[in-house]
Amino acid sequence: RQLGLTECRVSISSLWAHTPYTFDIQAVNGVSSKSPFPPQHVSVNITTNQAAPSTVPIMHQVSATMRSITLSWPQPEQP
């Protein structure tokens, strides 16, 4: 019976920009519990790069002339 992750890859989202993270990775199978040795894992350290641009959910036209337009939008939840 499979429990937890069932694929050989995982996607992690909603990480903060310029932030260090540590992921502990452990592989188990149907006989792992039978081993006389303690579970082994590897730690992977990463630091995220700059953030992707935030989406703009709504935009308002403040003013417009023949040569310019002024727009405004709400500040993102996570800059």
* pTM for this predicted structure: 0.53
CA distances from 4 to 7, 13, 14, 28, 39 (A): 9, 18, 20, 11, 16
From first to last of its 79 residues, the chain has per-residue pLDDT tens of: 456 777 778 888 888 888 999 999 887 777 888 889 888 889 999 999 887 777 788 999 999 998 889 999 998 876 6
CA distances from 20 to 16, 35, 42, 45, 49 (A): 9, 33, 16, 7, 10
